[in-house]
Structure 1
Amino acid sequence: MEKQIPTYDKDLEVLPELASQSHNGESIEVDKAEQARILRKVDLYLLPIITLLYLMSFLDRSSIGNAKISGLSADLGLKPVQYNIALSIFFMSYVSFECLYFTRDCSEFWRIGRSENLFGSLGSWYPRHALVFRFCLFFSAATLAGAFGGLLARGLVELDGTGGLEGWRWIFIVEGLITVVVAVCAYFWIQDSPESASFLSVADKKVLASILARDMSGESQEFSWPETRAAFGEWKVWTSGIICVGIALPTFSFALFIPTIINGLGYTATRSQLMTVPPYVVAFFFTISVGWLSDRLKVRGIPLLIFTAVGIVGYTIQISVDHQKLNVKYFATFLSAIGIFTTSGLNIPWLSNNLRGHSRRATGSAIQVSIGQLGGVAAAYIYRQQDSPDYVMGHSLALGSLVLAFVTTALQSWWMKKENDALDRKAREEGVDDGFRFTL
């Protein structure tokens, strides 16, 4: 007997057939207003804490840039290359722990991918086309951390001499203590999954499960070794990884070196810290706005291409404009920040949108992010002290990295369009269509 293809009303956000499969025969129809209410409830509970976690994470990893121009290198007697090595060690350990997370208990990997990883957590709470805006809200914490970090560092260096410690040491002490407190609170606050969420009523859990069932088109939610292994054979995982590392290199190098780059333009350390704030603030608004528009239009590739191009223009200006034109070079930092942070918020959830099955999605996202972190290792070495004040090599490598991301994004979008066309033909000719299409 031919399998019947589920159908649904345009005004409903949930396939009744799939909803009933999820609730022991009970059919739940969810209109748009009800879906908005449930997702808003999840937003208010989940997004503030994970955004705060990521804010502290990015603040901690970028604080060394502010510490450097506040006397870290001079007080420790660091040679230029030793500072770069210190930066790379952080990212090497970061990648290593990603791998350990995968290998420490493979039977638990699916749960880790969904719940303990922040992005994996978002993917288990929201339907595909409501995900990018939420991820951009979450990722915008990186830009807030950059803005807040400059202001905080400016204040903390005034503690110079307190307790017999240099001002730059207080940057690490205070920010590190705040992170520890936030992490402890997050441990008790974040819920494992929608099914066990204490802040949702039984009825709300059923509605959210129905929304997710509609979006998953009957996907299995059980851990599957074949699906986990299949993720390594997905070409989209590797192209997304290339895009991720192409964006990560300029993103991390910007966070680590922007105080030094601005300081190299001839400004004092204090003013340089304050001047890092405006580019981050502008990037914050672009990240959120483009994320909202991307979900609204259900498109990822085009905004990725547009804002990768914006970043390319920014670094091109940095390379080509004379060092004496300080205002123009400072303006270029705005373009660079807008380009790299906006695209970072789009690329990571794009892959999650296009992998089917929780095990495959969790594995693929872990591979993608691990590849991206390698960009952080390379980023630690591209801005060398001997290249000051123009830093042509660093800007050129960041530019080339974004060009790689741009070309790979274009190829990935083109190939997924071809796959969607093939699915359309199959639906017309064979009458087989489960409703899934790749998000372009």
Structure 2
Amino acid sequence: MAVLGGAASASGAFDSIMIYGISHMQGIGGLKAWQWTFLLESLPNIPLGIFTYLLLDKVPNAVQWFSNMEKQFLTNLLRNDAGVADNELTSDSRLSKRQMINVSTDWRIYLYSLIGLGNLIAVKCMTTLLPTLVTAAGYTKTQTHLITTIPYVFACICGILIGYSSSRRNEHGYHLILCFLVVLLGFILILTLPGQSKVTIIISTTVVCCGIFSALPLLLSWLTNNVGGHTKRSMAISLVMGIGQIGGIFQPLIYRDVDGPTYRRGHLICSAMILVSIITTIILRICLRKENNRRENLSLEQYRREASIKESCDLHPDARYSL
């Protein structure tokens, strides 16, 4: 998950470099620079999409170049990935209505969604506003394309490092809080450092990007580790990401043109949302730890009653939540 998140950050850096190069293609082939941008960024996706559709399948059993032994091995690996938390009624079931209902009634999913919403609001705002902030610091538009690669490069490195640390220690909550604290530090630097000089804006935006882009893979890995059942897990990811995308709607309302060039109001709102994510993360981690302790001390009658529930997934008394 950290590698995927790092790839997303790296794509931001590559995109900035690509835009810088395309800006010098004005008039080539009778096309304007913005037309070259659409062509060069969009055309490679067509063969990639065809390649992905033809060669990548949803389940191992459908992959043509796998041997029967490899298909069976991967299928068993997926079935046993979460242990008792993936106790579907039938091993070959792909969609469970019971698990779909469980997603809407599991309050933990909504806490994950609130955490993701706070982070993705900051992500949407920063990715959109970053060129504006850099340009306002005194860089030319051409220089801005190159300078904006710096935050993305550092965000890619930080995301992979903190993801490795989280995986090695099997801990997510504290790592996620650390990322959010880094984001807050970045916004504090933007708000408090004297002036909007070239150096200060690069440092502060880099700190913010390191935090927000590192937090999202951590959140998704925490979610997938703690949600059992293939249907429930898939829908939980969709719900968390779907709610998080609402942040894109808020972006023009948070960062208004009249607040430029400092955008102090927008920075304060994003800081407040990150603070909400920190508080929610603390609450969620405490609740998960208490639930683990409760399951450790169940009576035999309570254990049998909870274990008898069909497709209980991560609610099974033998399942333990990752903290």
TM-score by length of 1: 0.66
Map Cα deviations across residues 160-203 of structure 1 (whole Å, 9 max, x no partner). 12344432332222212122232222212212212222343222
Deviation larger for 391-400 or 258-267: 391-400
Match among 312, 327, 351 for residue 184 of structure 2: 312
Match among 210, 215, 224 for residue 96 of structure 2: 224
Match among 316, 319, 322 for residue 436 of structure 1: 319
For the pair 1:193 / 2:59, whether they are aligned, the reply is: yes
Map Cα deviations across residues 308-337 of structure 1 (whole Å, 9 max, x no partner). 100110011111222244312321111101
Structure 1 residues 427 and 212: CA distance shift in structure 2, 3 A: farther
Alignment of 1:357-372 (within 5 A): 357-372=229-244
Amino acid at match of 2:319: F
Equivalent-residue separation in structure 1 for 2:181 and 2:80 (angstroms): 35
Match of 1:288 in 2: 160
For the pair 1:352 / 2:224, whether they are aligned, the reply is: yes
For the pair 1:417 / 2:289, whether they are aligned, the reply is: yes
- Tell whether the 8 Å contact from 1:300 to 1:350 is kept in structure 2 after alignment: yes
Equivalent-residue separation in structure 1 for 2:223 and 2:106 (angstroms): 11
Amino acid at match of 1:158: H
Alignment of 1:115-264 (within 5 A): 135-218=1-84, 219-220=87-88, 221=91, 222=93, 223-264=95-136
The structural deviation recorded for 1:149 is 0.7
Alignment of 1:22-41 (within 5 A): none
Equivalent-residue separation in structure 2 for 1:362 and 1:249 (angstroms): 22
- Tell whether the 8 Å contact from 1:247 to 1:344 is kept in structure 2 after alignment: yes
Amino acid at match of 1:171: T
Map Cα deviations across residues 224-260 of structure 1 (whole Å, 9 max, x no partner). 2122112101111111111111110111222222111
Amino acid at match of 1:408: T
For the pair 1:396 / 2:262, whether they are aligned, the reply is: no
Match among 200, 207, 219 for residue 335 of structure 1: 207
Match of 2:309 in 1: none
Deviation larger for 157-166 or 333-342: 157-166
Equivalent-residue separation in structure 2 for 1:401 and 1:214 (angstroms): 37
Deviation larger for 312-321 or 221-230: 221-230
Equivalent-residue separation in structure 1 for 2:229 and 2:217 (angstroms): 22
Deviation larger for 238-247 or 318-327: 318-327
Structure 1 residues 404 and 434: CA distance shift in structure 2, 3 A: closer
Q: Which sections of structure 2, spanning at least 5 residues, go unmatched?
A: 305-315
The structural deviation recorded for 1:431 is 7.2
TM-score by length of 2: 0.88
The structural deviation recorded for 1:394 is 2.1
Equivalent-residue separation in structure 1 for 2:265 and 2:187 (angstroms): 11
Equivalent-residue separation in structure 2 for 1:187 and 1:368 (angstroms): 25
- Tell whether the 8 Å contact from 2:13 to 2:150 is kept in structure 1 after alignment: yes
- Tell whether the 8 Å contact from 2:134 to 2:198 is kept in structure 1 after alignment: no
Q: Which sections of structure 1, spanning at least 5 residues, go unmatched?
A: 1-134
Alignment of 1:267-306 (within 5 A): 267-306=139-178
Match among 158, 169, 194 for residue 322 of structure 1: 194
Equivalent-residue separation in structure 2 for 1:184 and 1:427 (angstroms): 55
The structural deviation recorded for 1:154 is 0.3
Deviation larger for 196-205 or 410-419: 196-205
Equivalent-residue separation in structure 2 for 1:295 and 1:162 (angstroms): 48
Equivalent-residue separation in structure 2 for 1:313 and 1:284 (angstroms): 18
Match of 1:373 in 2: 245
Structure 1 residues 340 and 184: CA distance shift in structure 2, 3 A: same
- Tell whether the 8 Å contact from 1:217 to 1:434 is kept in structure 2 after alignment: no
3-state SS of the aligned residue for 2:58?
Answer: coil
Amino acid at match of 2:63: A
- Tell whether the 8 Å contact from 1:323 to 1:389 is kept in structure 2 after alignment: no
Higher RCO structure, 1 or 2 (CA under 8 Å, sep 6+):
2
Give aligned pairs, total.
306
- Tell whether the 8 Å contact from 1:156 to 1:167 is kept in structure 2 after alignment: yes
The structural deviation recorded for 1:434 is 6.0
Equivalent-residue separation in structure 1 for 2:127 and 2:51 (angstroms): 26
Structure 1 residues 240 and 201: CA distance shift in structure 2, 3 A: same
Match of 1:24 in 2: none
Equivalent-residue separation in structure 2 for 1:428 and 1:312 (angstroms): 46
What percentage of residue pairs aligned between the two structures are identical?
Answer: 26
Amino acid at match of 1:282: F
Amino acid at match of 1:299: E
